Chain A
Amino acid sequence: MFSEKNVELLMDILHNDLLTAIFETIFLLTILPTLLAFLIGMPLGVLLVTGDEKGIRPLPRPVMQVTNVVINLLRSVPFLILLVVVLPLSKFIVGTKVGTKAIIVPLTIAAFPFVARLVETSIREVDQGVIEAAQAMGASPMQIVCKVLIPEAKPSLLANLFVALITIFGYGAMAGILGGGGIGAIAINYGYYRSKPLVMWVMVILLIILVQIFQSIGDFITKRSDKRIR
């Protein structure tokens, strides 16, 4: 494993491909799809709470049922299968069905239902009494969402944002199998297809370090934002 040739190959990869791989992993395969997933999942998650039978703006039951079924369906499809099914769609949306850019589409589609559920749990945590107080003051449903639900759930939402970020990071690394880029792709291509375990293990360690960094940043931001902690 540590033969001169293997070490040389590793040094070569670290020197030539590492910066691009880190960039792709962090921005294209993690942060961008997370933001896109929140763009769709956040309103959906809020809707799941407010449109509830006992919510602040109940929606017709069939609407809620369909929404729930769609979310559960998307969540139950294994990511790799979703990747295969959705990639052709990428051609319409980003113009290509290969490469890192194409992977962003299935990543977002796989992540937004998950994000919707996370947002739903965060919003549900908001004290019913505070919502009632706002209603008693004459707040409209929209005002309750913007001025009560989201601000009061902020620490929990931030914590969940980082949960989503790390999950999507994991998906992104997996997408290397189908031509995605980033650190995950290097690990799979060299470790699995070309039997170079040294490269694979170094990449895995790199992934572990990145997860640790994400989580630490997440914990720090969440704690700072929560005014319930003295």
Chain B
Amino acid sequence: MLHYLKTEADTENGRNFDAEISNVSRRGVLGGLLTATGLVLAVRITPASAREALKPYPTGGLTMPDGVVADPHVFIAIAPDGALTIVTHRSEMGTGIRTSLPMVVADEMGADWSRVTLVQAPGDEKKYGNQDTDGSRSMRHFIQPMRQCGAAMRQMLETAAAAKWNVAPALCSARNHQVALLDKDGKETGKVLSFGELAVAAMALPVPAPETILYKSPNEFTLMGKGEVQIADLHDITTGKAGYGADTRLPGMKFAVIARPAVLGSKVKSYDASATLKVPGVEAVHEIEGVFAVPRKFGQLGGIAVVANTTYAAMQGRDALTIEWEDGPNTSYDSDAYAAEMSATAAKPGKVLRNQGDPDAAFANAKDVVTAEYHGRHLVQAPMEPLVAIARIVGGKAEIWAPVQSPYGARKEIAEALKMPIENVTVHVSLLGGGFGRKSKWDFMLEAALLSQKMGGQPVLLQWTREDDIQHAFYHTASVERIEVALDDAGKVSGWRHRTVAPSIVSTFKQDDGYQFPIEYGMGFIDMPFDIPNIRCENGQAMAHTRIGWFRSVSNIQRAFAAQSVVCEVAHKLGRDPKDFLLELLGPDREIDPKTAGFPEDFWNYGEPYKEFPINTARLKNVVRVAAENAGWGKTLPPRQGLGIAVHRAFASYVASVVHVAIDDDGTIRVPEVTSAIDCGFHVNPERIRSQMEGAAVMGMSNALYSGITFKNGAVEQSNFTDYDVTRMSNYPQKVSVHIIDAPWGVHAGGVGEPGVPPFAPALANAIFAATGKRLRNLPMGDKVA
């Protein structure tokens, strides 16, 4: 069947089948719902004329490299038997996007979801548009193009049916994988043509111009907003058949691991592989040159690769290596000393990024000042699937298989590293066993490609161990956030001074000057939404001594922790209810005007045009109220229990969380319940939004209580899940209730993958304070409190 589809599409209909057809065999639809949907469709046929024109709105997707593509021939193919193939061009790392974007296409087409097969696109942004799957952007940037593709194809099917019946296209209406002939009153005549019968004719028609495309009205949606479609890979995942990075098998494939320098920038001085080569199964040892010139970008660290007939033999061989390393410039990096340095920097004025009103006067005239400093350690993404890539080079053409968030970026730089034209490099995207930002960086793929090249093109699977993953990441930055809050005679907040000090992601991409860039200071720092008359945001210098990268929700982690903690601290000082005080600080319902608020010119806004995606305090306040109400805010709790609240806007979505804490007799911090409200605008897949929010609470708890990376003598001190602790079932948020704010199409879809993380840690810290009177300001806070 799949083979047939591929051949058929190649020869007759599609122009798109260089993409790989995945093995999606049994897609789940929740029991009974298929029937229910069918019934609804049978009784409510909307004539094509009731459809609506939609005014497109600009998104940041247009300014991403290679922008967006909305050509139905690129994303859709229908076979003569009616099998519908939809290309999914974003990487699946657990958000469900591989299912959710095709759902948009299928719904708009009037297709039967059970007839859909998904194809994962290889890295080719010229064809598919931007594929860089991070920044919680997939739905935000591609919901419009995907609706457009689906609606265009539906119109082509209806036009093809009209030609066959020799009637006006307005009398033809696609639904349930058929086009129905309507009478002039819009009622079904009983005559239908299946999508399969129309496939060849429809796909040969010209694609309608965007301004002539009509869209389904929301009451016609069969998939969007329903939460009834299960992820496409569910059956394969539960039977062990789902294909991740290390699951491809090529004839003659070898297995390899690499010994890398413990300290960034160190080089191989000499090595002795004689013992390694005696290990049974080891076949070869190759030196992989590192990228040492700054900026390193995602260049490989360099080291010694051991190639063997199993991963086990390769690891044994690596253990037997003797390597002498030449020290690089980062051997003195020490986390404790560095935190003290950052703290000293935060005590002094820094580079002013935002100034509103006269904060100096506000502090000079303050009756009282609350000063608090919040620390965060480095974090490593540690997806459950360690990095892995498979590479082979045949006849001057390279193929790479990898769980990668940004397959086209990787392809470009692999071509450069192999000195090949980009056309000769193919990057296949497997499922990702988690990503969280780490798999945006393709150093592991460069290693595999370079290693295969050294092996004369032989296929090789390069496996990172968990130790490699923990010790050679692109780390979430370590940070100090210092906030001073001025209170006037009336007990009102009159001034806000926030200093951020943290090594920057910029250091990965250009010569480090120790200062942050707009993406970082645009994450809950200069875009802080409180209605305070005098505000100053300053950035102090901090040079990077390791590779700094992004981790799910990025700088929002430390910003939300600091800002939402200090609000609760001030509320306590004033004897106010933290939720009421938070709402008061958010001020009147308004869209913040970046100019009068003193935002810098380069205010990032998650890459979105501000007019379309403004900071809306009414939406912030609404999620606070919804979360608080549903959590029973204000209820009386037993001793050593408490509620904490926090709200944060990130990736153009708004999330508030109330965390309920219960402290055990031995001081263990437990979380019986989390109540979250998310306003992500128009939403497609509420079931996956809920799962993202549930997961965000778990990851939020890891960040808040357990996880931290520290450096000593330039090297990472942690090595595995033994000392890089994460949330386990022994202590996890027991019940996460998620309330999704319903929003019409006009409220643009925002991000979902990341925005749930930032409010968790401050809400937890505030709850711990409510339960114990202890204010914890350093992440991770530890899992016990006295």
Partners in one complex: no
Q: Residues on A close to B: CB < 8 A?
A: none
Q: Residues on B close to A: CB < 8 A?
A: none
